[in-house]
Amino acid sequence: MNKPSIGINDDYICLDAKNASFYYGYEVGLCKDCGIVDNGDNCPNDSDHEVEWCFKATCKGIDEVIIIPESKLGGSDRFDVTEKLLAGIGWVLAKYNLTIK
Ligand SMILES: [Zn+2]
């Protein structure tokens, strides 16, 4: 099946395509103080630390998991999840020479 699957809510969005998976939202957080990425909205070291939501991509043919914090994605509203996801996909497309087969 090549049909993409899209899930969207107030605080996350995901796009699953056959060879790639893209996510933005609260489930991937980067602590601005510790610099660590964790699953969730809170820093595992200190709940007072500020955590940024992140864009996350996994693509067939790219070994690394791509993580981009919301501050780099642009836009002003962290809840504008569609804009953030599109920006993240744009970063991926700009960085990698993806080929269509
Ligand atoms: Zn922290």
Share of residues in the chain with pLDDT > 70 (%): 96
What is the pLDDT confidence band of residue 100, given thresholds at 50, 70 and 90? low
Separation of CA 39 and ligand 1 centre (Å) = 13
**Cα(75) to centroid of ligand 1, in Å?**
24
Say if residue 24's pLDDT is above 80.
Answer: yes
Is residue 90 a contact partner of residue 76, using CB atoms and an 8 Å limit?
no
Q: Is 90 exceeded by the pLDDT of residue 1?
A: no
- According to the model, what pLDDT value does residue 96 have? 83
Backbone angles phi and psi of 55, in degrees to 5: -90, 140
**pLDDT tens digits for 45-86?**
999 999 999 999 999 888 889 999 999 999 889 999 999 999
For ligand 1, the distance from its centroid to the CA atom of residue 77, given in whole angstroms, is 22
